[in-house]
């Protein structure tokens, strides 16, 4: 079955109000605008609407200049620095230290790991127990494409996984009770988070090209990070627009493999060469896994799924969290409510150091 991403873009405009931001949020926004190739004057225009809550230092501006910020952007940043001179300093950032890195595994070990993970990925869904959980989808839009996100809604659903099939029932929208399917909700949605994406990447018929890239660290665990590429003629990633137009793009991304368990902990996927005539011009997803206990046993299960799409300037973002896993049949013990968001720190990658290079004992999936 092909995975499906359905996008129903909403045609509306949001008022241009002043944006309160921390220095960290400002830096992330400017970095993103540089990576996405936004025009210098557009970035500068939006920076004029920003109101900082912390002091912006000249060193931060210099760092952004080194990343490629344009002259108008730099002028707007200097104006923000002057306007924020009397504000508190941002939280201290630990100075970067030179760390001895872990040496890469030899080529034969890199190939062995991919083959081990292939077997794991192809048999992943057969190892999972029947369960239910709460799926929380927070949907955002930015009509101007500068990552000034406006939340549209929060959808809380009961997800039932039984006999290797997923079933979704929407329970709450913005904490108000409803009785709907995901298709009835409308807007941007996605399916296929429970193993389908992983299986397609590692299926021999997909002929995915893998390359060991570097070491990484997620949630305290050292990971092999592989880059990969899937050709268009082998792709099964379907992107649809308003359920009328469809395209199947080539895609590339990253695979994070736990060094000690050789389980997949993150998949990054980005569409390549979408036809210029197709309304959606950018599509990217990130799926994080972590150990979850069900029935007294640990399983590696989805933790968070993020999807981003672009149509023209407009950006759409879905952040989907999987919470409160329970063994199927224990439905009565789940209180269906919308939990608080997981902290960003859980999804930040850290550089591993050589002293962390020794394997650690990790829970084994049953």
> How many residues are given for the chain?
366
**Segment 231-259 mean pLDDT:** 92
Q: Specify the pLDDT at position 350.
A: 75
Nearest to 211 by CA among 198, 230, 225, 201: 225
* Position 362 pLDDT exceeds 60: no
**Segment 146-166 mean pLDDT:** 88
Nearest to 308 by CA among 193, 141, 187, 192: 141
Report field, pTM of the whole predicted structure over 0.85: no
Do strands 189-190 and 176-180 pair parallel, antiparallel, or not at all (unpaired)? unpaired
| Of 45-49, 179-183, 317-321, 351-355, minimum mean pLDDT range | 351-355
Q: Residue 236: pLDDT band by 50, 70, 90 thresholds?
A: very high
With contact defined as beta carbons under 8 Å apart, do 204 and 234 qualify?
no
Q: Specify the pLDDT at position 95.
A: 40
For domain 107-353, say whether CATH 2.50.20 is its number.
yes
Nearest to 233 by CA among 194, 272, 286, 202: 272
Q: Specify the pLDDT at position 11.
A: 35
With contact defined as beta carbons under 8 Å apart, do 230 and 208 qualify?
yes
Domain boundaries, the chain: 23-83, 107-353
With contact defined as beta carbons under 8 Å apart, do 158 and 326 qualify?
no
**Segment 335-362 mean pLDDT:** 72
Q: Specify the pLDDT at position 261.
A: 96
């Amino acid at each position: 079955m092909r995975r499906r991403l359905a996008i129903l873009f909403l045609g509306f405009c949001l008022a241009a109000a002043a944006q309160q931001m921390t220095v960290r949020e400002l830096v992330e926004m400017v970095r993103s605008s540089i990576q996405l190739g936004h025009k210098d004057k557009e970035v500068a225009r939006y920076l004029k609407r920003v109101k900082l809550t912390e002091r912006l230092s000249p060193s931060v501006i210099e760092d952004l200049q080194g990343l490629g910020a344009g002259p108008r952007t730099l002028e707007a940043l200097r104006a923000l620095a002057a306007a924020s001179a009397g504000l508190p300093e941002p939280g201290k950032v630990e100075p970067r230290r030179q760390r001895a890195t872990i040496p890469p595994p030899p080529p034969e070990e890199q190939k062995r790991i991919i083959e081990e993970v292939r077997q794991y990925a192809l048999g992943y869904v057969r190892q999972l127990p029947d369960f239910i959980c709460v799926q929380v989808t927070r949907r955002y839009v930015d009509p101007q494409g500068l990552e000034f996100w406006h939340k549209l809604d929060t959808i809380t659903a009961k997800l039932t996984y039984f006999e290797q099939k997923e079933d979704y029932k929407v329970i709450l929208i913005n904490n108000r009770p409803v009785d709907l399917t995901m298709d009835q909700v409308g807007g941007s949605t996605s399916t296929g988070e429970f193993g389908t994406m992983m299986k397609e990447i590692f299926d021999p018929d997909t002929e995915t090209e893998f390359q060991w890239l570097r070491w990484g660290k997620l949630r305290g665990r050292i990971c092999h990070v592989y880059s990969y590429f899937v050709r268009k003629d082998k792709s099964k990633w379907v992107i649809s627009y308003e359920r009328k137009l469809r395209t199947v793009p080539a895609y590339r991304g990253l695979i994070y493999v736990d060094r000690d368990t050789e389980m997949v902990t993150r998949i990054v996927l980005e569409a390549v060469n979408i036809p210029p005539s197709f309304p959606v011009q950018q599509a990217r997803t990130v799926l994080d896994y972590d150990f979850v206990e069900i029935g007294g046993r640990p399983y590696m299960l989805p933790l968070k799924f993020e999807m981003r799409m672009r149509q023209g300037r407009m950006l759409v973002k879905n952040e989907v969290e999987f919470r409160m896993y329970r063994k199927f049949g224990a439905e009565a013990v789940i209180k269906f409510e919308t939990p608080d968001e997981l902290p960003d720190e859980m999804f930040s990658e850290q550089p591993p150091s050589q002293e962390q290079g020794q394997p650690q004992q990790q829970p084994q999936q049953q």
